[in-house]
């Protein structure tokens, strides 16, 4: 069982950068720390063999262990100010859309000191009804409940007021769409309490301040808030509405007029009252959400931001665990670019934290770069698919067998979710941050993403080829300038998530003589966005037909961080075939299959790849994942979707299992030919084509591909083909393509006809 | 809707002979029926000694709850574990035990190792 976890404040670093390592132990009082260079993290008996190379560092040794806590739960915090602290009478109003109204007390807007029972708090009570509490900090507390529990996922306008002069407390609960018994207006006298306590804590929304607690706040709210306001007078809802009808209320009326439709790309919360009571969101609640007034006429928040004035809060959001560092060190100039890992050991447990060390700034130390798919690692961070998804066992084709990491994730929701999961209220997780322990990016863990990519590292080590390591986050920040330092760039097994900046940089690289090897499957699939200011935070919107575990809210398909349409790149009009020649065709996790060479493998343009290989052989009829090189998630060429007309499809896989099924975007209407057992379109393609300026692209179309490299101690046709391609791609000799008979006429088939309903050989087929 | 015929011991034998497939269509259909269901009370395996030993577990279907372990049911072979869970599910679905109706298999420990 896991006894130690941790994280670094960086994944990518270059010499001179300072790294902070945060650690938490569960039981052991001490832990050991050290550094290794990663060669192969796959420790399965049938794998290539686990291999790490210890690196001596001055900070290696024993450290005291401790358990650090995670402050999950999102909310808004507005710093205390004179204008907020001095109010006595007040009116507080907000639109609320509760997703779990019966999950106990949940704060909506509060300036409340729990220890002193001072201030006010508008909340959902334990019974699910709205309530207002006031306290004078001297022992007098009054509260008032609407007495009518809120219905889940319905908008209500709540207005509460307190008149210090009369002691009158009032609360109005007004549903947006009238339903029998849902409206409520209650009023009471508070008795002897005539002064609202001057609570000095920040004002909060969607949580109560709780400075003495582990998470700083408590009483987290699940759901959306829109248009919260605070007036320094006791008003009823109608009077407040009248005052706001001009669009600019009198300055003496409101001390807080928070407009969530502003600053939607970041963490800011803007106060339009003129008092400057601006706030910030904590733990990345969802922005660019439909507000109470969304009328369905617009689906892009940039076009009608006033209809997207809601923030969706979750009690399990987490952006930064904020742990105290246990180790701090600077990357020495002497470290070569490579994948390293901080090795942490406690009790009988070991945890590895990856560190991708780049060459010194603005330099390359090899003509070859491995682009680590950190955006994908981030999207999957702490994925609980196999723990939460009912059909997970059906998809795997065997009983679910959990490793220590998954058993830990089942018990520790507080370390945050992945973008494959849903929040506790059922809504999809859109954001993932690496500033928290991530159990899915270690060595000796399940062979997927990062750990599967170490098969490629092991093969490069076996060849004795030097390479630099760069990451998606580096590409996002530096663009083409980063790629252009290299003659050849290679991916890992699963480069699934791409931001627009990353995509554009790669497209430009291919237009400027770059050579690119896509060595996995399901790549270039989802459009993602990095946070505009926070490093290491990714956003996804799971919209449209796609392989996905939750479905995006209609009307919220546009990313908050950039405003771009989210979803598949294919649905954004840029299929992966336009970038790398192939794109996702099918997924299946029970077993893998092999490729068969096509007639195109005999083309003179492909001769360099096939030295020492007979095209009569099955390609990759072996491998440590499912027994074949084509498996898990596979990609195929499709000229209708943008595979370049001169691309050579040198091999295609066949004989897939009934569990290898078309990806949803490849289906128009269901029929009985949906799997690899029946439909020959369920296949992976190995593709090669030349680009302009002497460049070229090689793509293999399978996540399982690299798990075949080490078969028979690297003496096999997958490893041979790869070595042939890579050596040629590293040669300065330009690739030249002269259009001739090979140039395939662009097909006339519509892009809207997906593979599952296209017969082989038909126009647009492949 | 398809229901498992408790007299189809031939399907049981077919599964037993190749617990990780490939399976004939009829066997696959039976397995899908046994595997379909919510996470609540689902039988799973939890690795307690990496790549060497697994314990039978049961999910609660609720978040943040530890997986309930049955340490009396331990396996050093994934195929054996698959067979054990199959037998339990078969009895639950058909109401009939397989005890005495099929012989117990002896699996090679490498079976099922080519999974990730």
3-state secondary structure of A458: helix
H/E segment holding residue B82: helix B78-94
Residue A252 is predicted with a pLDDT of: 73
Query: Which letter, b or e, does each residue of A527-549 get, where b requires 16 or more Cβ atoms within 10 Å of its Cβ?
Result: bbbbbeebbbbbbbbbbbbbbbb
Return d(Cα A441, Cα A351) in angstroms, integer.
10
Which residue of A410, A424, A442, A702 is the best one to mutate when testing the B interface, meaning the one whose CB has the most B CBs within 10 A? A410
Q: Are A50 and A42 in contact (CB under 8 A)?
A: yes
CA B83 to chain A, closest CA, distance in angstroms equals 10
Q: Are A41 and A48 in contact (CB under 8 A)?
A: no
Query: Which among B38, B39, B32, B30 is positioned nearest to B12, based on CA atoms?
Result: B30
Residue A249 is predicted with a pLDDT of: 67
In this prediction, what percent of chain A has a pLDDT beyond 70? 96
H/E segment holding residue A162: strand A155-163
Domain span including residue B29: 9-94
H/E segment holding residue A637: strand A630-637
In this prediction, what percent of chain B has a pLDDT beyond 70? 99
Return d(Cα A172, Cα A530) in angstroms, integer.
41
Q: Peptide bond preceding A588: is omega within 30 degrees of 0, i.e. cis?
A: no
A387 touches chain B (CB under 8 A): yes
Most confident of A761-765, B100-104, B107-111: B100-104
Q: Quick check: A14 pLDDT over 50?
A: yes
Q: Are A291 and A227 in contact (CB under 8 A)?
A: yes
Residue A250 is predicted with a pLDDT of: 66
Domain for residue B105, yes or no? no
Q: Quick check: A241 pLDDT over 50?
A: yes
- Give the pLDDT band (50/70/90) at residue A751: confident
A623 touches chain B (CB under 8 A): yes
The minimal CB distance from B36 to the residues A394, A452, A658 is found for A394
The minimal CB distance from A411 to the residues B28, B66, B115 is found for B66
Exposure on the CB side of residue A317, measured as CA atoms within 13 A: 29
Enumerate domains of chain A plus CATH numbers: 4-69+321-357 (2.60.40.1930), 75-313 (2.60.120.200), 571-692+699-766 (no CATH)
How far CA A165 is from CA of A15, A110, A133, A137, in Å, comes to 65, 21, 17, 17
* Beta carbons of B28 and A658 less than 8 Å apart: yes
Q: Are A204 and A277 in contact (CB under 8 A)?
A: no
The minimal CB distance from A624 to the residues B48, B67, B114 is found for B114
Domain for residue B74, yes or no? yes
Length of chain B: 116
Q: Please name the residues in contact with B116: beta carbons below 8 A apart, sequence gap of 6 or more.
A: A44, A446, A447, A448, A452, A625, A632, A707
What is the average pLDDT score of chain B? 94
Residue B29 is predicted with a pLDDT of: 96
Within 8 A of A401 by CB-CB distance, chain B residues are: 44-47, 54, 78, 81
Domain for residue B30, yes or no? yes
List strand residue ranges (DSSP E) for A505-557, in order: 515-518, 526-527, 529-530, 537-539
Domain for residue B116, yes or no? no
- Give the pLDDT band (50/70/90) at residue A732: very high
Please count the other Cβ atoms lying within 10 Å of the Cβ belonging to residue A58. 7
Q: Quick check: A763 pLDDT over 50?
A: no
List all residues of chain B from 60 to 99 with a beta carbon under 8 Å from chain A.
Answer: 63-67, 78, 81-82, 85
- Give the pLDDT band (50/70/90) at residue A511: very high
Return d(Cα A581, Cα A609) in angstroms, integer.
17
Residue A756 is predicted with a pLDDT of: 86
User: Which class for B10: exposed (0-12), middle (13-18), buried (19 or more C-beta within 10 A)?
Assistant: exposed
- CA A243 to chain centroid: 42
* Cα angle: A38, vertex A39, A42; to 5 degrees: 95
Domain count, chain B: 1
CA A399 to chain B, closest CA, distance in angstroms equals 6
- Give the pLDDT band (50/70/90) at residue A541: very high
Domain for residue B52, yes or no? yes
CA B115 to chain A, closest CA, distance in angstroms equals 5
Residue A764 is predicted with a pLDDT of: 44
Q: Are A282 and A199 in contact (CB under 8 A)?
A: no
The minimal CB distance from A657 to the residues B22, B36, B66 is found for B22
Q: What is the pLDDT of residues A627-673, one digit of tens each?
A: 999 999 999 999 999 999 999 999 999 999 999 999 999 998 889 99
Q: Are A31 and A5 in contact (CB under 8 A)?
A: no
Residue A68 is predicted with a pLDDT of: 96
> What average pLDDT does this structure show over A288-304?
97
CA A538 to chain B, closest CA, distance in angstroms equals 24
Q: What is the pLDDT of residues A38-79, one digit of tens each?
A: 999 999 998 999 999 999 999 999 999 999 999 999 999 999
Closest residue in chain B to residue A411, using alpha carbons only: B64
Q: Quick check: A527 pLDDT over 80?
A: yes
Q: What is the pLDDT of residues A692-709, one digit of tens each?
A: 999 999 999 999 999 999
Within 8 A of B47 by CB-CB distance, chain A residues are: 401-404
* DSSP 8-state assignment for residue A246: T
The minimal CB distance from B63 to the residues A393, A407, A424 is found for A424
What is the average pLDDT score of chain A? 94
Domain for residue B60, yes or no? yes
- Give the pLDDT band (50/70/90) at residue B43: very high
Q: Quick check: A251 pLDDT over 70?
A: no
């Amino acid at each position: 069982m896991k006894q130690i976890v941790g994280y670094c404040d960086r994944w990518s670093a270059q010499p001179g950068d300072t790294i902070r390592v945060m650690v938490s132990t569960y039981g052991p009082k001490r832990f050991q720390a050290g550094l290794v260079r990663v060669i192969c993290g796959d420790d399965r008996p049938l794998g290539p063999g686990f291999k790490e190379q210890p690196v001596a560092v001055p900070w290696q040794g024993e450290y005291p262990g401790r358990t650090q806590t995670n402050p999950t739960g999102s909310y808004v915090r507005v710093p205390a100010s004179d204008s907020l602290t001095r109010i006595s009478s007040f009116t507080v109003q907000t639109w609320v859309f509760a997703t779990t109204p019966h999950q106990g007390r949940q704060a909506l807007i509060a300036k409340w000191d729990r220890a002193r029972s001072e201030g006010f708090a508008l909340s959902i009570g334990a019974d699910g009804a709205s309530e207002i509490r006031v306290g004078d900090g001297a022992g007098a507390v009054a509260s008032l409940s609407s007495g009518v529990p809120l219905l889940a996922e319905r908008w209500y306008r709540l207005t509460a007021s307190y008149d210090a002069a009369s002691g009158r407390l009032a609360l109005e609960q007004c549903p947006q769409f009238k339903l029998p018994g849902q409206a409520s207006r209650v009023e009471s006298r508070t008795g002897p309490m005539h002064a609202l306590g001057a609570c000095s804590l920040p004002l909060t929304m969607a949580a109560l301040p709780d400075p003495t607690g582990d998470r700083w706040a408590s009483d987290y709210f699940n759901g959306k808030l829109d248009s919260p306001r605070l007036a320094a007078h006791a008003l009823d809802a109608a009077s407040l509405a009248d005052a706001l009808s001009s669009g600019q209320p009198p300055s003496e009326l409101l001390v807080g007029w928070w407009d969530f439709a502003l600053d939607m790309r970041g963490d800011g919360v803007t106060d339009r009252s003129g008092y400057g009571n601006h706030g910030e969101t904590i733990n990345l609640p969802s922005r660019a959400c439909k507000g109470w007034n969304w009328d369905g006429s617009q689906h892009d928040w940039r076009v009608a931001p006033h209809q997207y004035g809601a923030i969706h809060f979750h009690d399990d959001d987490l952006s930064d665990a904020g742990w105290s560092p246990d180790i701090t060190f600077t990357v020495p100039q002497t470290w070569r670019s490579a994948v390293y890992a901080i090795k942490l050991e406690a009790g009988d447990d070991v945890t590895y934290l990856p560190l991708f060390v780049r060459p010194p700034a603005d330099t390359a130390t090899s003509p070859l770069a491995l682009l680590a798919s950190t955006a994908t690692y981030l999207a999957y961070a702490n994925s609980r698919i196999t723990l939460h998804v009912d059909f997970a066992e059906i998809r795997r084709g065997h009983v679910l067998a959990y490793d220590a990491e998954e058993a830990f994730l089942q018990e520790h929701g507080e370390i945050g979710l992945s973008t494959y999961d849903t929040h506790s209220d059922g809504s999809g997780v859109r954001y993932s941050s690496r500033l928290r322990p991530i159990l899915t990016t270690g060595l000796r863990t399940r062979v997927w993403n990062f750990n599967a990519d170490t098969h490629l590292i092991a093969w490069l080590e076996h060849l004795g080829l030097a390479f630099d390591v760069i990451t998606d986050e580096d590409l996002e920040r530096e663009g083409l300038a980063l790629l252009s330092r290299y003659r050849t760039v290679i991916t890992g097994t699963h480069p699934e998530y791409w931001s627009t900046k990353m995509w554009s940089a790669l497209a430009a690289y291919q237009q400027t003589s770059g050579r690119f090897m896509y060595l996995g499957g399901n790549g270039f699939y989802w459009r993602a966005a990095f946070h505009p200011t926070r490093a290491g935070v990714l956003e996804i919107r799971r919209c449209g037909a796609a392989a996905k575990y939750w479905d995006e809210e209609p009307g919220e398909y546009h990313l908050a961080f950039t405003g771009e349409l989210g979803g598949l790149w294919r649905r954004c009009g840029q299929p992966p075939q336009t970038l790398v020649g192939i794109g996702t065709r099918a997924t299946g996790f029970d077993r893998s299959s092999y490729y068969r060479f096509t007639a195109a493998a005999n083309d003179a343009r492909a001769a360099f790849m096939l030295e020492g290989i007979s095209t009569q052989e099955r390609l990759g009829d072996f491998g440590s994942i499912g027994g074949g090189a084509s498996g898990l998630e596979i990609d195929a060429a499709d000229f209708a979707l943008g595979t370049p007309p001169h691309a050579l499809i040198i091999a295609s896989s066949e004989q897939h299992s009934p569990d290898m099924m078309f990806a949803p975007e490849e289906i128009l209407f269901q029929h009985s030919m949906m799997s690899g057992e029946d439909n020959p379109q369920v296949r992976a393609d190995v593709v090669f084509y030349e680009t302009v300026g002497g460049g070229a692209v090689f793509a293999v179309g399978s996540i399982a591909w690299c798990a075949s490299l080490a078969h028979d101690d690297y003496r096999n046709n997958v490893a041979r083909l790869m070595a042939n391609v890579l050596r040629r791609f590293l040669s300065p000799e330009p690739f030249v393509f002269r259009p001739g008979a090979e140039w395939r006429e662009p097909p006339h088939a519509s892009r809207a006809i997906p593979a599952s309903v296209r017969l082989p050989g038909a126009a647009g087929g492949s | 809707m398809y229901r498992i015929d408790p007299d189809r011991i031939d399907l049981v034998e077919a599964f037993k002979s190749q617990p990780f497939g490939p399976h004939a269509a009829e066997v696959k259909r039976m397995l899908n029926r046994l595997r379909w269901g919510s996470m609540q009370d689902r039988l799973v395996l939890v690795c307690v000694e990496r790549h060497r030993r697994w314990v039978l577990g049961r999910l609660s279907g609720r978040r943040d709850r530890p997986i309930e372990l049955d340490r009396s049911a331990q396996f050093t072979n994934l195929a054996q574990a698959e067979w054990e869970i199959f037998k339990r599910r078969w009895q639950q679905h058909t109401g009939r035990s397989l005890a005495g109706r099929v012989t117990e298999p002896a699996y090679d420990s490498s079976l099922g190792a080519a999974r990730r």
